[in-house]
Amino acid sequence: MSKVMVAMSGGVDSSVAAALMLEQGHEVVGVTLRLWGGESDSGCCAISDVDDARRVCDELKIDHHVFNMSDEFDNHVVNPYVSSHAAGLTPNPCIECNRHIKFDLLHHRVQALGFDRLATGHHARIITQPDGTHYLARAIDTSKDQSYVLYMLDQKKLAILDLPIGDLTKEQVRDLAIKLNLRTATKPDSQDVCFITREHGRNDFLRKRIPLTPGRVIDTTGAEVGSVEAVEMVTIGQRKGMATAGGTDPRYAIDVDVPNATVTVGKPEDLLVDSMPVKDCVWANQPTSGSVLVQISAHGKPMEATLKDNNVYWAEPQRRVAPGQAVVFYSDNKVLGGGMAC
Amino acid sequence: MTYLDHAASTPTRPEVVEAMMPWFTQHPGNPSGAHQQAREARRAVDEARDAVAALVGADSSEVVFTSGGTEADNLAIDGVLRSKGGTPICSATEHPAVLEPVRDNGGIVVPTDEAGQISLEALAETLNSIDNISLVSAMTANNETGVINPITGIAELLEERFPSTYLHTDAVQATAWMDLAKYCEGAHLISITGHKFGGPKGAGALIIKKGVPFLATQRGGGQERERRSGTQNVPAIVGLGKAAQIMMSEREILSARVTDLRNQLEEKLIVLIPDTFRTLPAESNRTPQIAHLCFKDVESESLLFLLEQEGIAASAASSCASGAQQVSHVLQAMGIDYEKASGSIRLSLGWTTTEEEINHALNVIPQAVTQLREYSK
């Protein structure tokens, strides 16, 4: 029996995660992080979600605590998100939250408070090798797999982490919640970025925090072919809003130059590259090179490539990856590590 | 369980529970009615009114029963402003129940000194520079640190130089420890609540002295002399009255006993745990029940977690709706740096506190701080 802290968002996955840890005979305490103090409608971090987590803990007869990490969330997640956009990058705030909040601050607090293990309701699995090393692997339910946003977990983090629902499909998770009579059983999945409201959207959020620059759109010959409202909001590969007046062929953003407020558009084939550099790589175990599968978005298709000296060489030419996006390396279903497109 | 969170809520006195019971089980009357049962309820409410009036040095007709301290604070500010208009002022260390309505009414928040006390100079300056300030709200004692505001000084300042400005004081945290009849004599409006001095939750009062311009915010049947409509919560009001009576007879002895226990706790913790600071400057004028300390390299949230595991209930800053600890606006107003404030804790004592509880805390807290410091980054 271990002393386990379960991070509970107030959703069905972490509710069931807590129930499963309890069923395994552990001493379990539920914790909800209060991260975002502003407006939210995404089903994450709102007071009603804290209440849901608390009520589930009551149903499971375990203690529930709330940790306020909102200052750290601002510093490590929200502010970098805003400044990344200002620099024309495409940030993933969920990954930064996992990196800095859940699997750093909370991970640290788990140990400081005398707990043996941390459990979360992420859809991914942890596999322990015969030699005692651990690997993060894709969830059984590949449509819900979250291994991409957990690529930063190293041996130290994996060693005390439990992901109890990674072996279940979403349907099985919901069935279990219904069987256990948990009040979150039919709660919709949370989506999107917790601090961006569906009502007002990303543009509105950024506009309140940084000046957005109207930009010109040029084609690959340098001719001006249109304009965009905010160059900071354009992502490489984006098609929406890139069509040229009177043009019939689809156009894609192939370059975003924030300082010069210019977006270059081109044909799909103009996006194709043979390789791309990555930076800030972290590894599950040790630095890897050679043949890998590469995933460049949360639910993207893994593609074959060769990894060498912080460069990804695609087996087949691929579309450019927007700078700032996470690039995660897999071997079969195992996460080897990841970095950031640059 | 060692309960060191009396400033959040102190246990209800058994005599209070006993006094309340018949008003749940035997007497159904609505105090506004005309028959025998109604008159009984009315008499019970009026007797409680007399007890509360005596406790705060007011006339019975000046007592308006409310659902608690927050309603009393809101009502004081909104009620005066609705009638008289003008601008309200308070200091930055007030309870949110004062800060929010002051801000909503376009009011001014003045800075405090390093102890969190309202500065008479800053107040006079603001009163001089801005026309039409109708209300000053200054808490008698702060809910986080227990520091006492110079209510008499503020009352004198207003009386001498700004006679058309009224003074409200939130005495919620002071009621169990100070002679409000004397100390808050110059205030025109006074808020109290039962559950901070042995009464039930959900029963409080706003004292509105005669002649204070006031217009009710909760309207309806005109109860409480048209100052707060709604059927009175008879059992809770009876309990509030009983608690007021007990305070009158026991306050001095209780204050002396709790001061002694608090000092033991505070002084020993400072000796036992290196890098421990008093949040308030030494020699600050403060109420007896609160030991407020900052531990270097400790997060209060983690400390409270460990204390709870060892059977000690305490708190840090005031809790927000989600139950998470916010960095205290009171400590910010006092100018305490973030690092120090983030390791602060409030241990608050009350009428049930025993020497055993203090010794328990003295055993547990040093160990918990040591454990957390081993892991501090």
By DSSP bridging, strand A117-119 and strand A161-162 are: parallel
pLDDT in tens, B136-164: 999 999 999 999 999 999 999 999 999 99
- Region B76-83: mean pLDDT is 98
ipTM: 0.86
pLDDT in tens, B325-353: 667 889 989 998 887 888 999 999 999 99
The CATH number, out of the four listed (2.130.10.10, 1.10.150.120, 2.30.30.280, 3.40.50.720), of the domain defined by the range A211-266: 2.30.30.280
pLDDT at A226 over 60: yes
Q: Is B375 in CB contact (< 8 Å) with chain A?
A: yes
Note the residue count of chain B.
Answer: 377
Q: Which CATH class is domain A3-121+164-179?
A: alpha beta
Q: What torsion do the CA atoms of B321, B327, B328, B333 make, to the nearest 10 degrees?
A: -140
CA of B191, closest CA in chain A: separation in Å? 29
pLDDT on residue B377: 59
Using an 8 Å CB-CB cutoff, list residues of chain A that contact chain B: 32, 34, 47, 50, 54, 65-68, 70-71, 108-109, 111-114
Determine the topology of domain A271-341 in CATH.
Elongation Factor Tu (Ef-tu); domain 3 (2.40.30)
Q: What is the DSSP letter of B201?
A: T
pLDDT in tens, A244-254: 666 667 789 99
Nearest to A108 among B309, B323, B377 (CB): B377
- Find out whether A323 and A236 touch, Cβ atoms under 8 Å: yes
Query: How many CB atoms are closer than 10 A to CB A117?
Result: 18
pLDDT at B88 over 70: yes
pLDDT at B201 over 80: yes
The pTM of the full predicted model, rounded to 2 decimals, is 0.90
What percent of chain A has a predicted confidence (pLDDT) above 90?
75
A196 pLDDT band (50/70/90 cuts)? confident
pLDDT in tens, A33-82: 988 877 666 555 566 788 999 999 999 999 999 999 988 999 999 999 99
* Catalytic residue check, A194: yes
- Find out whether B234 and B203 touch, Cβ atoms under 8 Å: no
* Catalytic residue check, A281: no
Where in chain A are the domains? 3-121+164-179, 211-266, 271-341
Render the burial of A233-271: b for 16+ CB within 10 Å, e for the rest: bbbbbbeebbbeeeeeeebbbbbbebeebbbbbbeeebb
Of A132-141, A266-275, B230-239, the one with minimum mean pLDDT is: A266-275
- Region A190-215: mean pLDDT is 86
Residues of chain B within CATH 3.90.1150.10 domain(s) are 2-8+251-375
Q: What is the CATH number of domain B14-247?
A: 3.40.640.10
Residues of chain B within CATH 3.40.640.10 domain(s) are 14-247
Q: What is the CATH number of domain B2-8+251-375?
A: 3.90.1150.10
Q: Is B324 in CB contact (< 8 Å) with chain A?
A: yes
Nearest to A112 among B302, B321, B327 (CB): B302
- Report the alpha-carbon distance of residue A100 to residue B237 in Å, rounded: 51
Q: Please, is B49 exposed, middle or buried when counting C-beta atoms within 10 Å of its C-beta (0-12, 13-18, 19+)?
A: buried
pLDDT on residue B325: 62
